[in-house]
Chain A
Amino acid sequence: MGGLGGPPPSPPNARKRRGGAVALLDGPPRGAASRSVHEERLEIPPSSTYASAVAVPLVPLDADAPSMTTAPLVFTGRGGEYFRIWVVNLLLTVITAGLYSAWTKVRKAKYFAQNTRLDGHVFGYHGNPKAILRGRIIALVLLGAYTWGFQFSRVAGLVTLMVLCAAGPWLFMRSQQFKLGNTSFRGLRFGFDARVGEAYRIMLPILVLWFAPAVVTALTADEGWQLGLVGLLTTLAIPWMHHRLKAYQHGRAVYGDRSFAFLGARRKFYGVYLKGAGLVVLAVLLGTTVAFVIAWFRGPASQFPGTGFEAAIYGGIIVLPVYVFAWPFLAARLQQAVWTSTRLGDVRFRTEIKARALFKIVFKSVMLTLLTCGLYWPFAAVALARYRIECVRVDSELPLTAIAADLHGRPVAALGEGAADTFGLDLGL
């Protein structure tokens, strides 16, 4: 992990989180309801879009529905349309020196939510941009302290880490609350059952482990065996930390007055991460070989790794295979593990996501994004979102429409939301 080089370690997950696709899927299971008993007198048969639904006459459904119904998710977003939204969003963000980014975030979330259909109905996003902006300003201050604290002095760095440990669990809890509380389906809000004590019990061990290498680096002058030991410990604990976080996120999610449950998949996480680590090693070997060959072709005068710009290029050549090969595998397998462990009452979830297909999409996206100087980015975000969303299946035995709304009328400050966004705490796997 990143902490071995020197303080502060940058969370590796911060690099993985890209674009709207991820933001959309790392929430709770989206929605649940399939056909409801209550509706069956007038209900239109489920279909992927309202447009096709309204075209067929109203047909009463058999009251004794089959024991298991499966509802797929459909994504109706288009690359060209999102490209137009993206350009205008960016222009306004740059003109306003970043202030408008809170509004673009809301527009983007609305676009991806309203283009996601489950059983013919779409999701909604209702976040307040001003609250997000407030959260982001505070998060930026924390990020600045985190990045520059150790540059300033050892004490300042350690104090920053302590502040982060003290505030982190609360911020994370609030961010889940904000994100879920502002997501709706069939007129009902999702939510997050936030309890302060539990948040600290779950998150503190994770944060302490995460910052341990940075603390050891700060306290010992040389990078000795202590750092190696702590770094190894933290690295070995990554699957454990990730699982703990996912279990918390999914286990405390709420839809209407029903609670989600997370059954636990710790062993699966370790298995996936073990294989993933093998792939990362292979990818790094591949990248390093390519970089060496390039350096060799450029003649004996060129030094490997060189300095400055060259080092960045070589670094990119080494990191790219990791992103293209190892990330799709980890993402696909972890998503499978997470979804199959998630329940909403009788409703079950699964995803038919495949590492190979995800790899093809990521590979194409990376290549085209590089070739077009970044202009392909919104098309890539839509392609990735479509694949990840449309792989999800919602299975239920009992129709669940008549869920009474658990009122979520109180406004939620967006502080936590913005902070999780900046720190990349929102693990998108």
Chain B
Amino acid sequence: MRANEFRAWFFSGRDGEAAAVVMRVDGERVVVEATDGTVRESEPLTTVMMSEPFDHAPRLITLRSGGTLEVEEEGGRLARALARAGVAVSPVVQLRRWWPAVLVALAGLIALVSLAYLKGLPLAAHWVADRLPAGIEGRLGDQMLVALDRHYLGPSQFDAEWRERLARRFADAATKAAPGVPYRLEFRATSEESINAFALPGGVVIVLDGLVRFAGDEAAVLGVLGHELGHVAYRHSTRQVLQSVGVGMLAGMLWGDFSGTAASVPLVLGVLKYSRGFEREADDFAIAFLRANEISIEPFYDVLVRLVEREERRGIATLPDFISTHPSLAERIEHVFKALDE
């Protein structure tokens, strides 16, 4: 067998017969010869459709006549013959044939995915959140509140009159510090007396009885509510929801087979935990909020410190929203502490 000749199977496409043939790469043509030496097909290399090379699979070469050749690679002999005849190898094939190049591609992939995760997704989520109709955001928040009410939250134990007074006080302060930020204050409680407050998409701010009791001081409660209003003003929770959708799509792209995205799109309640940057922004907002109303920052700072102390004693499992588990906690407290001096 000469260097440009290969044993092959030929399928006419008219029936399923497998004919043993010899395929010859003859100059710029593919010539198919039957075992008795008669030429069955002859076609320019430029018009045949050739499948990519795989290590252990034969090449499928489709001719214009509708016939197909099944040719083994023979350890690269076929690829070499084709290269001599001037058949170009796609860059993708060249890349994936060489392990070092694949490892570089892997490093590039990891870098790109990290970049997309850390920078791209937040940016895209911000962009979309700013353009999302308010109705959708509102409905999203309402649905999450319904889900929370069903599974975690109960009605507040404080009497209506007291709640009314705090709500009015907060409304006045909000008008003064951040007019035009639409929000809705909701009072709730949990059976374990959780100390928490959080913001949902569309401006729903939930404050739990446990937090009010723990804070003890109206100024401190207003500081915490100011922090949550900050999340509302910056649309943090909507952005968080959008980011989690994006993470699902990214993961689907990597490990799913496209249908993976369908599986990961349904929203989970895993959106109540914000990034470090979001918390910092909300803290800054709270400080500005308190200052605009000439309320001391100290009680707010106090609550932060006492909560950290308490959580350090009890383990980190029940950390409320506005004290997240990020290692930057000390940094955040320090940040608020600096504001105390100014």
Contacts and interface: CB of A to CB of B under 8 A. Distances in A.
Given A85-B96, A88-B102, A401-B18, A423 B317 contact: no
Contacts of B13: 187-188, 405
A10 B265 CA distance: 9
Contacts of A292: none
A33 interface: yes
A117 B57 CA distance: 9
B51 A302 contact: no
Given A18-B260, A42-B20, A114-B51, A308 B269 contact: yes
Given A88-B105, A147-B266, A422-B259, A107 B16 contact: no
Contacts of B39: none
A152 interface: yes
A311 B270 contact: yes
Interface in B90-107: 92, 95-97, 99, 102, 105-106
Interface in B104-138: 105-106, 108-109, 112-113, 116, 135-136
Contact of B14 (A33, A309, A405): A405
A89 to B, nearest CB: 8
Most buried by A among B18, B62, B317, B318: B18
Interface stretch (B4-12, B160-168, B295-303, B331-339): B4-12
Contacts of A84: 96-97, 99, 102
B192 interface: yes
A401 B109 contact: no
Given A10-B262, A187-B67, A309-B270, A90 B56 contact: no
A343 B224 CA distance: 69
A411 B312 CA distance: 66
B269 A115 contact: no
A119 to B, nearest CB: 9
Most chain B C-beta atoms within 10 Å of own C-beta, residue among A6, A10, A39, A54:
A54
Contacts of B253: 90, 93-94, 98, 101
A15 interface: yes
Contact of B136 (A14, A92, A122, A152): A152
A83 B97 CA distance: 11
Interface string B257-279: 11111110110111111000000
Nearest to B271: A308
A359 B133 CA distance: 47
Given A101-B258, A301-B314, A302-B315, A147 B265 contact: yes
A289 interface: no
A20 B259 CA distance: 12
B328 to A, nearest CB: 16
Given A87-B96, A301-B314, A421-B259, A186 B254 contact: no
Q: How large is the interface on A (under 10, 10 to 19, 20 to 34, 35 or more residues)?
A: 35 or more
A151 B132 CA distance: 12
B52 interface: yes
Contacts of A83: 102
Interface in A76-110: 76-78, 81, 83-85, 87-88, 90-95, 98, 101, 105, 107, 110
A136 interface: yes
Interface in B224-277: 253-263, 265-266, 268-273
Among A20, A49, A88, A374, residue most surrounded by chain B Cβ atoms (within 10 Å)? A88
Given A90-B254, A105-B257, 11 more contacts: A18-B255, A81-B54, A81-B56, A88-B102, A121-B9, A126-B62, A152-B139, A188-B15, A308-B271, A377-B255, A422-B262
27 contacts: A6-B143, A17-B259, A18-B256, A36-B17, A39-B17, A39-B19, A43-B20, A50-B7, A88-B96, A88-B105, A91-B106, A121-B9, A122-B60, A151-B136, A151-B140, A185-B16, A187-B12, A188-B11, A298-B317, A306-B317, A307-B272, A308-B272, A311-B268, A401-B18, A403-B16, A404-B15, A424-B262
Interface of A: 6, 10-11, 14-15, 17-20, 22-23, 33, 36, 38-39, 42-44, 49-51, 54, 58, 76-78, 81, 83-85, 87-88, 90-95, 98, 101, 105, 107, 110-111, 114-115, 121-122, 124, 126, 136, 143, 147-148, 151-153, 184-188, 256, 298-299, 301-303, 306-312, 315, 374, 377, 400-405, 421-424, 426
